[in-house]
Each structure stands twice: as C-alpha cells, then as structure tokens.
Structure 1
Amino acid sequence: MRYGHWGRPVLVFPSEAGRAEDFAAHGMVGAVQDLIDAGRVSFFCVDSADGWTWSANDKPTEERARGHAAYLRWLDEAVIPWITEQLGGRLPVITLGVSMGAYHAVHYSLTRAHLAPLGIGLSGNYDPSSWHAWGETGDATYFANPMHYVPGMSGDHLEWVRSAASVLLVVGQGAFEWEPTKAYPSTLAFAQVLQDKGIRHELDVWGHDSAHDWPWWQRQIAHHLPRFC
C-alpha cells in the first residue's frame, strides 16, 4: 500500500505478523500527514511474512531463517522495482519498522545499503537467536542475525558498509520495552555493536513513560522523519 504522491520513499515493515494497512490504521500516516501533503515523503507499506518465518515457533530456527531469506528475495525482486516504477526512477529508500519490523528495516538497510542507505528501527529486538530459537543453525541464521554478522564484518565489505549505511535506533524505557520484547536491552546492545565496528548510527533513548506501543511510535516518527525528507 502506498501513502503519499511524491517525496523520499520509505519502505515500511509492520510489527510482528502485521499487514500493510497497519501503518495507517494505527495513526502513523496521520502523525506525519504534513510531510505527505508537502510531497516530502511517500510510504510504501508491505505485509510481513513472520507467520511462516520468525514467528513460526514450531519450526527450527534455521528453517525460519531460510524462509526469511525468501521474503528478502521478494522485497528485492518485487517491492523495490514497484517503488521504482511508482516514482518513475530509483531514489534512495529509507526503511522503517516498529517492534519486529524494526529488525526487518535495519537488517535490510545493513545488507542492501545500495538500495536503502538509511534504516530506522523503533523499539526493535535485533537478535533473532533470542526468538524461541531451537535446533541446529547454519549460514541462513548467521546471515539473518545482525548481532552475529555485524561483529564478523571486516575488510572491504566493512568499509563499504561504513561508507554506505546509516542506522537510527529509537527505543523507550517504559511498558513492554524491557519484557517480554527485550527491545530496550537489545537496542542498546546493538548500538554498541555498531559503535565497535564504526558503522554510522544514532541511538535515541526515550524515557520511562515511553511504551512499546503505537502512540509513542507516532511521536517518534514525527520527531525524527522530517530531517530525512
């Protein structure tokens, strides 16, 4: 689903197992309606595939990671070309997500910075190994986990990521940011990983009243997005 007639394209991932329409239904479009009306931003919202990937807890982690890789191929082969066609040419994409969608947004930007050089994660947990992990794991799980593959970056690839990618991590300290989501500790831990690797990032920690919920994500997007569009 698309919202906006022109402007910087933002690829929006929903919260866990969510749908494309959730972004507008939960007030996120309305929170930045002024940017949309001014032609500064267009949101391109997609469904998740969490129901048969990361949220399919009956499947071993490696199988879920392989399913996630198929979802990424769909983004590469269908969604990014759709955005390009809609805008009449390719523009650098911002990725944006809340909760589990924050993981998707940041992971996509770090692995495809030539397409999406900025990833914005709101209240994310960036370690899939903490999501009901079980079974033997391999390359699919490793390369789907920023908490694992970013520390392993080196050489020319790391230099490219440093030059091409930027990440904004936002999290609160209020209800559900600690438990059960572990968004607060995961966000701080991931920010340290990015810091250790010299990858451009910002960490914005909100107060103890800032909950893992849509009203706070509305405020956070309204606060941050205008400077990128």
Structure 2
Amino acid sequence: MLVFGDEGYPLILFPTSMGRHYESKDRGLIESLRWFVDQQLVRIYCPDSIDHHSWYNRHIPPAARAYNHTRYDQALLHEVLERAVQETGIQRVAVAGCSFGGYHAANFAFRYPEKVSYLFSLSGTFDVRFRLDGHYDDNVYFNNPVDYMPGNKAAALWRMGIILGVAEHDVARAQNEHLSAILASKQISHWLDVRPNAVHDWSWWKEMLPYYLSLIK
C-alpha cells in the first residue's frame, strides 16, 4: 500500500482490475489530487488488489475465487480501514475506485456503510457473476451489490454521499444505470453523473475524481 498526505479526510482508493498499489500514482490520478493532498484536506490510502487470486483467476474453482475475495475484504476492514481511522482520527472513511476499482469501492461501502461516509465510483461495475462460470454461493451473493442491495436495510446507507460517475460511451454505463435504479427504488440519495462525450478512460477519471473530492463537507 502507498499512502499520500500527512493529514486530512481518509480516502481508500482502489486500483483497476488486477491493479497494484502504485497504479493510481503511475497513471497520474494521484497527481490530479495533489492540491487536496498539499492542502492537507485528504490522506489517500492505495492498497493492492488481489483480483488475480480471486475474481480474475480462471485457474482455480469459482468457489475459491469468491472465498479469496472474502479474505481480501477482511484485510481491508481490519488492516487498511482501521489504520486509516487510527491515523486520521476520522471514524468514517471515503472510498473510491475506477473501473473494477469502482466495484471494490462500492462493495466495501455497501457492506460496511456505518464505516464509509462517501462512495465515489468511476466507471465501476457491480455484478461479478460473469467471472464465476455459473457458480453461486453466499460469498458471491454478499459481494455482489446488485444482488444484496435491494434487501440491504442498513440505516447508514441513507446518510452516505454516493456518486456513480460514468461516461456517456462507457462499457459500464448500463451497470451504473442499473445500480442507480436500485438505489432510487430504496430512496437512497445519490448522483448518477453521466459525462457527455466521454469514454471509459483515465483521462476522464482524472477530471472526475478531483471534482467529487471537492464535494466532501
């Protein structure tokens, strides 16, 4: 994990599919957030993914892929989040991610809404079933937002700041519209931000995330 900033609101920033902890730095996303870091408004935590051991690993059984993600989820909860809370003194963190990182951010936020104050998903996807060759079990259900969110009654969801950012010509647009409809049906306040004439690309994410961070109160 890389950490940027000495003080500020804790932001856990997930990499894209099979991405590493240094991806956001190497791709220029951290540079796009430099003003917030320099002004000590945000402290950014960039953990590794283990997608190559979980959802993206076609060399192990689907049940093992889902199980491996549950272990990653527990590491995020008990190591990354607890460290961020301890270091910043702020009890509810913000989470963000681009592409499959948007899945990780959304899934973590919706599983632990009492610990997450803001969710910024950029071109995220929210249905992992296509990675599992037809397999389905509790580990899949409880890590697949489009499945468990309709029945999720956690009160903290209604006080979370949620932005689903997506491009007009984005491969993930339909999934964002689907998740937005689920949230709307539950009267959970959120913003589906569809960027006109945009595509699924880092250049747009580097414009979107700084703006979303500026909305933190």
Instruction: Give the Cα–Cα distance (whole angstroms) in 2 for the partners of residues 101 and 6 of structure 1.
Output: 24
Instruction: Give the Cα–Cα distance (whole angstroms) in 1 for the partners of residues 111 and 46 of structure 2.
Output: 19
Instruction: Give the Cα–Cα distance (whole angstroms) in 1 for the partners of residues 85 and 93 of structure 2.
Output: 10
TM-score (norm 2): 0.93
Report the counterpart of residue 212 of structure 2 in structure 1: 224
SS in 1 for 2:192: strand
Whether 2:161 is the aligned partner of 1:166: answer yes
Report the counterpart of residue 146 of structure 1 in structure 2: 145
1:135 Cα offset (Å): 4.1
SS in 2 for 1:169: strand
Which blocks of at least 5 consecutive residues in structure 1 are unaligned?
none
**Correspondences of 1:174-213 after superposition (within 5 Å):** 174=169, 177-178=170-171, 183-208=172-197, 210-213=198-201
Instruction: Give the Cα–Cα distance (whole angstroms) in 1 for the partners of residues 39 and 154 of structure 2.
Output: 36
Q: Deviations over 1:39-60 (max 9, x none)?
A: 1111111000101111113334
Identity among equivalent positions (%) equals: 27
From the two aligned structures, give the one with the greater strand fraction. 2
TM-score (norm 1): 0.88
Which blocks of at least 5 consecutive residues in structure 2 are unaligned?
none
Q: Is the 8 A contact 2:10 2:85 kept in 1?
A: no
Report the counterpart of residue 137 of structure 1 in structure 2: 136
1:108 is matched by which residue type in structure 2? F
Aligned residues: 216
Q: Deviations over 1:89-122 (max 9, x none)?
A: 2432100000000011011111111211211100
Report the counterpart of residue 76 of structure 1 in structure 2: 77
Instruction: Give the Cα–Cα distance (whole angstroms) in 2 for the partners of residues 218 and 27 of structure 1.
Output: 7
**Correspondences of 1:58-73 after superposition (within 5 Å):** 58-73=59-74
Report the counterpart of residue 114 of structure 1 in structure 2: 114
Q: Is the 8 A contact 1:110 1:161 kept in 2?
A: no
Instruction: Give the Cα–Cα distance (whole angstroms) in 2 for the partners of residues 134 and 58 of structure 1.
Output: 12
